[in-house]
């Protein structure tokens, strides 16, 4: 519910942004301080919310209808709106809940299908939990335990190949407790000797599950990580 409420606010703000700039034929004239303040508010809101319209699930938002509803509500033209405020709020709540559930189910089905096909490939090992891994380089050092801290290089990608996190991009390895990360990492790191490089394919229930993480990792997403275990930190 909270996510839907946030998105309602985002839509309203984004609508205001587009309303101030959608007609390129209109020239902006700032005749006084209030005009400048009004225009400045549009710029400030636009800078902060320009990209958030892409978070609305189900496809691209119909900008024309969004602007129509926004302007009618902004001008308090209640007689023109096709929905009351209560009806609009109830519909958006239901829409976000339904579409997000549909997308989560689709993502899980895609992940399950991928893992089923991937486990049959040469060199891929599947553990009892469902974690899959492949050895790229086998190190000769000791294996960490769940209570150890480690230093690693890694790159995390979605199944479509999009990189969502990479220590290489940041220019330095990461350090963390083996037991302080997602379950797939905790299990996988304890399999690796120091000096190893593995690929892990982590099912959603061993990753971020139904909640997802950030804008890139959707609910029920299966994740791929290339991990190099550099050191156990003493």
Active site residue ranges: 154, 164-165, 182, 208, 225
Residue 192 · residue 227 · CB < 8 Å: yes
The residue assigned the tokens 């939990």 is 129
Residue 157 · residue 103 · CB < 8 Å: no
* Whole-angstrom distance, CA of residue 194 vs CA of residue 49: 44
Burial classification of residue 10, based on how many CB atoms lie within 10 Å of its CB (0-12 exposed, 13-18 middle, 19 or more buried): middle
- CB atoms under 10 Å from CB of 189, counted, come to 25
Residue 209 · residue 219 · CB < 8 Å: yes
Residue 200 · residue 184 · CB < 8 Å: yes
Compute the half-sphere exposure of residue 154: CA atoms within 13 Å on the CB side of its CA. 22
Compute the half-sphere exposure of residue 228: CA atoms within 13 Å on the CB side of its CA. 11
């Amino acid at each position: 519910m909270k996510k839907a409420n946030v998105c309602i606010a985002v839509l309203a703000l984004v609508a205001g942004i587009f309303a101030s700039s959608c007609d390129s034929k209109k020239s902006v004239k700032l005749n006084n301080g209030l005009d400048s303040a009004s225009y400045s508010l549009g710029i400030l809101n636009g800078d902060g919310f320009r990209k958030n319209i892409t978070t609305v699930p189900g496809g691209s938002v119909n900008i024309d209808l969004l602007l129509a509803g926004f302007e009618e509500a902004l001008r308090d033209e209640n007689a023109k709106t096709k929905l009351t405020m209560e009806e609009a709020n109830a519909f958006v709540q239901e829409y976000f809940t339904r579409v997000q559930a549909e997308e989560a189910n689709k993502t899980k089905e895609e992940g399950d299908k991928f893992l089923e096909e991937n486990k049959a490939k040469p060199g891929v090992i599947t553990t009892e939990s469902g974690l899959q891994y492949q050895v790229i380089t086998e190190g000769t050092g000791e294996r960490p335990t769940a209570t150890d801290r480690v230093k690693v290089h890694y790159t995390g990608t979605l199944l479509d190949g999009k990189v969502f996190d990479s220590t290489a991009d940041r220019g330095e390895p990461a350090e963390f407790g083996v037991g302080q990360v997602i379950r797939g990492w905790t299990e996988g790191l304890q399999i690796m000797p120091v000096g190893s490089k593995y690929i892990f394919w982590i099912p959603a229930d061993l990753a971020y599950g139904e909640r997802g993480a950030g804008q890139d990792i959707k609910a029920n997403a299966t994740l791929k990580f290339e991990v190099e275990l550099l050191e156990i930190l003493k």
